[in-house]
Structure formats: structure tokens, C-alpha cells
Structure 1
Amino acid sequence: MKSFLPTSVYAVLNYAIALLLISTLWTFDTIHIGGAALFLPLLIGWLQLIMAIFAKNELGFLKVFPMVMHNVNDVIMGSFLMCSPWVYDFHSKIWIPQVLFGGALFLMGIFTVGSPFLKKDHELQQGGITPDQLV
């Protein structure tokens, strides 16, 4: 597969998903459910917003975090968010926003240009990254 999502589009989507995750308290009424359904989207939304501000891309303000780190964190947080309704057993009340936003984060982390997930070993070594550093 080939990366197809430019970092400029990724930056816009990252801010949008971060703000949507933070707003799930009100838009999907998770404030009445409480527990992990309330705090996980809120926590991951704030982490995404902070990482977007610090990212080395077109819309990052402080440009500290490399995009490789950001992509890896997106895949980890997205997969965790997708599984959270079943792990924390609130899937009978709400699961759609967690799966949608978690899936979007997961796919963004994989298909952004420069993502380490679609590069071959020799491409990583030319960029100064060895396969051992990804583990």
C-alpha cells in the first residue's frame, strides 16, 4: 500500500477529530453514562489537540513532535479507542463515536505520508531510522 494522505490534510483532520472527541460529552450525551464512556474520548481528544499543536506539520504551532511519533500515537490511541466500548463494557449504551473516531485516528496514523507503517526497511534506514527503533 502507499501513503496517500498529505500532512496538511492530516493536520486539519487531526484538529477536527480532537475537537469532536472533546465535544462527545454533549453531542452524544455521554455525560449521563459516565465512566470510561465519558473520560476516554475526553482524554484522547485533549491528547490529540496537544499533539496537534506540537506536531511538525503545516498547522503545528510549536513544531516539536516529529510526524513519525504522532502517527504511532494515533494508531495506538485509535485502536484503544475502538476497543474501549467492549473492554470497559459500555457497548450496550454507546459505541458508535468511539469506533468512528478511533477508526479515523487509526487510519490517519497509517496512511499519512511519512508514516512508518507503510515504509519498507530500506526506506526507514535511509531516513535514519532502523527497524529496531520502531519496536
Structure 2
Amino acid sequence: MKPFISTSTYGFLNYVVAITLMASPWLFGFSHVGGASLFLPLIFGWLQLIMAIFSKHKFGFMNVFPVSMHCFIDVVGGSFLMASPFVYGYSSHVFLPQLLLGGLVFFLGIFTKQSPFTDAPEHVFGDGLTTSTSDVDEPMAH
């Protein structure tokens, strides 16, 4: 499937998702539960914000991380966030915000242009580093 989310839209949505994740315990009223249900969205929100600031897209300030690396981390992190209520056992108290926000991060990571999951990989070395270092074509002595 072709990626359809531009990197500039992705960059903007990263900030929105990061702030929403950090505020989600209070926005959705589960801050009283505490533990992993409180700290995982906060930690993942901060991670999203830091990656958005350092990514190479229109809204990135530092332009250090390639977008493909950010997308890969989003897919892994989004999967973890979706599974966390069930893995850490707080799904009886709250699970929908993590499931939806984790799914959104996962979706953005897969369908953004330059994503390693939908675009052909860019090879830095065209020959795959298969060149010989010796000028002599002699068989090796055993």
C-alpha cells in the first residue's frame, strides 16, 4: 500500500499526539488509577515530543532523526501502548485512551511517506560493500 500522509502533516500530528498523550490521564479522567496507566502515556508523550523536535520534517527544530527512524519507533511504541493496559493489568480501569492513541501512533508510523514499512529502503552503499580490498586475484593459501 502506498503511504498517503505527508511528512509535514506527520510532523504536526506528532506534536498534537504528544500533548494529548501527556494530558490524557487528566483529559480522560484516569489519573486517580496511578501506576503504569498514569506513567506510560506521560513517558510515551514526552518521547513523542522529543522525537518530533529532533526529526527531519517541516516542523522539526533540530533535524537530526530521519523520518523513517521516527516512523519505526512510532510503530513499535504504538504497539506497546495499545497492549500496555492488558500487559500491565489495568484494563479493568482504563484501556480505551491507550488503545486509540497507540493505534493512531501505529497508523501514522506505517502510512507516512518515508516510512520503512511502505517505502522501498534507501541504500547508502550502492554496491552493498562487496568490493575487494586486494588488487591481486590470487587464491588464498590454506
TM-score (norm 1): 0.89
In the alignment, which residue of structure 2 is the partner of 1:128?
123
CA distance in 2, matches of 1:33, 1:129: 48
Q: Which runs of 4+ in 1 moved over 6 A?
A: none
Matched, 1:29 2:21: no
Give deviations 1:71-99, integer Å, cap 9, x for gaps.
00000100000000100011111111000
CA distance in 1, matches of 2:124, 2:84: 32
CA distance in 2, matches of 1:28, 1:104: 16
TM-score (norm 2): 0.85
- Count of equivalent residues: 125
Cα RMSD of the aligned pairs, angstroms, is 1.2
Change (3 A) 1:129 1:85: farther
If you compute each CA radius of gyration, which structure gives the higher value, 1 or 2? 2
CA distance in 1, matches of 2:124, 2:2: 19
CA distance in 2, matches of 1:24, 1:3: 28
Name the % identity: 52
CA distance in 2, matches of 1:58, 1:72: 18
Q: Which has the higher helix share?
A: 1
Q: Which runs of 5+ in 1 are unaligned?
A: 131-135
